[in-house]
Structure 1
Amino acid sequence: MPGQPHAVRKVIREVATAVLAELPAFADRLVERGAVEEKTFYGRGDWMAPSDMRQSFMDNARSALLLMGGEDEGRDWMAAPLATGRRRAEQGVPLEAVLHLFRLGTELLWDMLLAAARRRSPDELADFVDGVMVLWQATDRVSMAMVEGYRSREIQLQTRANRRRERLLGVLVEGRGVDPAVAADAEAGLGLPVHGRYVVVLVVCDLAAEEMAPVPELAAAGVRVAVAPYRDRVVWLLELGGVAPGRLAALLTPHLHHRAGMSGEVAGLAEIGIAYRLAELALQTQPPDAPGLAVLDDRLPEALVAASPRLAQRLAAKVLGRVLDLDDEERQVLLETLRAWFRAGRSATRAGELLYCHRNTVLNRLRKLEQLTGASLEDDRHQLCCRLALMAPRETP
């Protein structure tokens, strides 16, 4: 107790020593009050067994009293609060509740110290009161050590839980959920039912990005979620409950700021591998420089093309080969005209409005396309081939 007069240090040490002998009675009072406080403030009283609470109170009060008496050599006083903090984290007791009970213990400890000091002479009582700051400094150090133990153990537990979640999601997206034992393990570890309505969402982003965070609206809608990184993606595994996939997409869209792909619905954990591949296909329909959510069921033609890129490129070369051989500017004009014509429901007038040109200009370009492709755009099969060819990946647009 540096800085304190000798008389003050002496009386504080003697009062702390006297209270040390009374700790069992102190602990009994704290257990009784602590159980009431738990139920009153947190609605439960089963986080800590009474024997555990009693021993923790005694150990931490002893640490505070040792510090008050100036016995902090070797930092032995830290063992008890560190152990208490670690244990409470393992028990799942909220840190707020831990600190609330600690404050309760500090109040009762002060009552005991003051009662012991009042049994001494008036001068010694005055000395004790003059040095009361030592009590608050001691309890503050014990509290900080307890928080340190809690936080360090909490981080360890969260890291372990994250690794288990990553492992479980990994085996599911690899298709190993068809094994009933694997599915049961995933059900227990992820809190998701073996049988249910599932979709997978893949997000391309930094693994520490916001897409790792939960979306509050999902829980409110009854959607259960497990999120973890897998390779260079963030995987969202979502159990729909009673929510339609379209509604889910609407809930997710405002929160996804990177490229993302959403699978169609599958039945149960056994089909998560299928959903993962479908989500990857949906993702491939989203341009590399375009953030946002690509929903598979909204892009099935594009997904068909993405599923067989070599075949799609062969189709494009067969249907649009002579067009693709044109110089960049002319090729771009003709392909954009064809796209606009399809978007306009094959109306030359509306396509002209989209392209800011006269309908006759559109018609002239369409005739040029027919000449180069060797087929009429009135032919349904040729239209289908042109639509698919426009979706096909190729080195030049």
Structure 2
Amino acid sequence: MAAELARRCESQVNRLARELAERHFTVIPDYESLPEDMRDLEMATTARRAIRQFLQSAAGVRPADEDFRPFRERAAQRAEEGIELTTLLRTYFIGAEVVWDALRAGARPGEEPALLWLARHQLRGLNRMIAAVTEAYQAERAAILAEERVAYQEVARALLAGEPAGATAARSGIRLAPAYLVLNLLIADDVPNVNVIERRVLRRVRANLEGFTDGTPLTLLDARGGHVLLPLNAADRMPELARLLTDTGPGGEQIIAGAARTQDTTDVPRAAEQAVRIARLAHTTGRPPGVYQLADVLLDYHLSGPADSGRELTALLAPLETHPELLETLRAFLDHDMDRRRTAQALAVHPNTVDNRMARVSSLLGVDTQTTRGLLLCAAALTLRRLT
């Protein structure tokens, strides 16, 4: 009985395909603007094939896996054209609705049990069709995204190396910004599997930054850590950017990011080197996770540069090498803003002990630690010693 009802509806395949195409107008955005061959040939042919295949299966012809190949190909094509998966799947449900309406209209008195069987058969067939179409669509989208990721990495690599990136960007549809905020992400190197963690964090950062600025962020992981290139206007939203970068998800990795601005795209290599140096300085000097710019580490940055006085400055502290308690006291005294009581508390000693030790430091170094000049000199020497 069900097979007979399905065969009676086969003569309506063309009409049902046209009705399905008409209902597409309310589902697919800008349907009328689609190429005519896509609307009138591809979609109509696919609709007729799907309707006929269902009706034939209801009449007893079991579809083989090969019969689903045209639908997989169309799904991959829709993915390449940028049509949303939800839109594509809705067309199949609309098709099922159109066919069901035809079956109900064609049913004769006494064929109610056949309708119930066909409803169950249609759900099973639709389930198989949706699975095949979704799998093909997602496979194509994954391939497209992989190609896009490689293209973005190539553009980032070219910019960071100071090579022309315009042709690669244009070929991949990537719009270059006039100037960039260049970030270098640094994760503590004392954690296990740091390279694996860096890749995972960079993926999370990329996901967090989607939509933060116009266009997709350019990211690249290399020997210097993770680089992220954002349009320069991202620098106007540094607090928000810091939250996005430090919110790395379940792993809770501690990220320090150095940030530097470029003048234009040719300035990216210089900014990248500066960002790397800023991140390393912030990490080495024990700063908490966050985003740091040059102004945040200016003294450290200046002192760690290639200055001819650096060797002599660090040698200032040589007399304290054999007196670690004095070196520790000097460091604590400066870290606690020259407050003898807080310093004593941090060292678990009496404040008078701090005074005695600082007097000994002055005697050994030949520097008066009670003067501004002496303290600045000791602070600079300590900072440079810590960095080098």
Structure 1 length as normaliser, TM-score?
0.78
* CA deviation after TM superposition for structure 1 residue 153, in Å: 0.9
Name the SS of the counterpart of 2:317 in structure 1: helix
Give runs of aligned pairs for residues 122-137 of structure 1, distance below 5 A: 122=109, 125-126=111-112, 128-132=114-118, 133-137=120-124
**Which segment is superposed worse, 295-304 or 141-150?**
295-304
Q: How do residues 101-180 of structure 1 correspond to structure 2 at under 5 angstroms?
A: 101-118=91-108, 122=109, 125-126=111-112, 128-132=114-118, 133-176=120-163, 179=164
Shifted more, 167-176 versus 182-191: the winner is 182-191
- Letter of the 2:129 partner, please give it: V
The aligned residue for residue 318 of structure 1 is 315
In structure 1, how many angstroms separate the alpha carbons of the residues matched to 2:133 and 2:273?
A: 47
Q: One-letter code of the match for 1:50?
A: R
Q: Give the corresponding residue for 1:343.
A: 335
Offset, 1:147: 0.8
CA contact (8 A) 1:211 1:234 kept: no
Distance 2:312 2:92 in 1: 73
| Distance in 2 (alpha carbons) for counterparts of 1:246 and 1:89 | 36
Alpha-carbon contact 2:282-2:297 (below 8 Å) kept: no
Deviates more, 1:60-69 or 1:94-103: 60-69
**TM-aligned CA deviation for residue 197 of structure 1:** 4.8
- Is residue 2:78 matched to residue 1:88? yes
Q: Residues 195, 46 of structure 1: CA spacing in aligned structure 2 closer, same or farther, 3 A cutoff?
A: same
- Which residue does the alignment assign to 1:3? none
Give the aligned residue type for 1:320: L
1:273/1:68 CA distance change after superposition, 3 Å: farther
Q: Does 1:55 align with 2:45?
A: yes
- 1:161–1:225: structure 2 CA closer, same or farther, 3 Å change rule? closer
Distance in structure 2 (CA, Å) of the matches to 1:107 and 1:219: 37
Q: Secondary structure at the match of 2:27?
A: helix
Question: CA 1:357 to 1:46, structure 2 compared with 1: closer, same or farther past 3 Å?
Answer: farther
Q: Report the aligned-residue RMSD.
A: 3.5
**Is the 2:177–2:231 Cα contact (8 Å) retained in structure 1?**
no
Residue 275 of structure 2 aligns to which amino acid in structure 1?
A
Structure 2 contact 27–87 (Cα < 8 Å) conserved: no
- 1:116 deviates by 3.9
For residue 199 of structure 1, the aligned residue among 182, 196, 203 is 182
Structure 1 residues 117 and 393: alpha-carbon distance in aligned structure 2, compared to 1, 3 A threshold: farther
State the shift of 1:105 in Å. Answer: 1.0
d(CA) in 2 for partners of 1:84 and 1:310? 68
Q: After the TM superposition, which of the residue ranges 276-285 and 187-196 deviates more from structure 2?
A: 187-196
Judged with a 3 Å threshold, the aligned counterparts in structure 2 of structure 1 residues 213 and 194 are, in CA distance, closer, same or farther, namely: closer
Letter in 2 for 1:137: R
String of CA shifts for 1:281-322, please: whole Å, max 9, x gaps: 12212447977225132112223445559985x356411112
Selected match of 1:277 from 273, 278, 292: 273
Give the unaligned 5+ runs of structure 2: 188-196
Q: Which residue of 1 aligns with 2:219?
A: 228
Deviations 1:63-108 (A, max 9, x none): 3334334434642221122112211211212211112221111100
Task: Give the TM-score normalised by the residue count of structure 2.
Answer: 0.80
Summarize deviations over 1:123-146 as a string: whole Å, max 9, x none.
Answer: 5x3453242122221222112111
Q: Distance in 1 between matches of 2:307 and 2:125?
A: 70
Structure 2: how far apart are the matches of 1:109 and 1:194? 51
The CA distance in 1 between the partners of 2:379 and 2:283, in whole Å, is 17
Cα deviation, residue 344, structure 1: 4.0
Distance 2:171 2:231 in 1: 14
Q: Report the AA paired with residue 285 of structure 1.
A: L
Paired residue secondary structure (1:264): strand
Q: Measure the CA separation in 1 of the matches of 2:182 and 2:387.
A: 32
Displacement of 1:385: 4.2
Q: Residues of 2 paired with 1:211 and 1:126: CA distance?
A: 55
1:362 pairs with one of 346, 351, 354? 354
Alpha-carbon deviation of 1:251?
3.7
Native 8 Å contact 1:282 1:299 kept in 2: yes
Residues 141-180 of structure 1 show CA distances to partners (whole Å, capped at 9, x for unaligned) of 112111111111111111111111111111112222xx3x
Letter in structure 2 aligned against 1:212: V
Q: Secondary structure at 1:368's aligned position in 2?
A: helix
- Residue type of the alignment partner of 1:283: A
Q: How many residues align?
A: 367
